[in-house]
Amino acid sequence: MLVIIIISMLAAIAIPRLSNSSETAREKADITTGREVKAALDRYQIEHGLYPKLGELTATNGKISGSGFIPDYIVKLDSTVTQQSAKDENKGFGIAELGKESQAPNAQHIIMIYLTSDGSAAEVIVYNKSLSQILWSSF
């Protein structure tokens, strides 16, 4: 009986810690993906002189498409790539216009790509699963 009580106490301590470390690992995986996306955007800019312009990349249901960028600079960007356990409508990637003075609008997806209409800048922000906190930013 004492053994069962001890095992129960250990489980009560260990299970929440394992759950937290799992979510932290998922966040770190998404941060790594965000860095890879920014690196791909930078490679594109080095080779073409400009970043992809707003409208050259499109986002639908968390999936980014755009000839000349995918798969040339990064294999795929869709909702299966992001790891955090977010709502389905928040998974994956989104695109929005990078505002004046490098202001980013509200997040719609875990990883947001912010582009300008003239190709002069591109930034990436990785958000937590509730989109309430920035985990990493290329700004």
Domain range list for the chain? 2-137
| R_g of the chain computed on alpha carbons | 19
Q: Report which secondary-structure segment, H or E, holds 115.
A: strand 111-115
Q: What is the pLDDT of residue 49?
A: 97
Q: Report which secondary-structure segment, H or E, holds 11.
A: helix 2-48
Strand 63-65 to strand 58-60: parallel, antiparallel, or no bridges (unpaired)? antiparallel
User: What CA–CA distance (Å, rounded) separates 124 from 109?
Assistant: 11
User: What CA–CA distance (Å, rounded) separates 87 from 109?
Assistant: 9
Phi, psi at residue 40, to the nearest 5°? -65, -40
∠ CA 107-48-63 to the nearest 5 degrees?
A: 35
Q: What is the mean pLDDT of the chain?
A: 88
Give the predicted TM-score (pTM) of the model: 0.83
Q: What is the pLDDT of residue 20?
A: 66
Residues (pLDDT < 50) of the chain are none
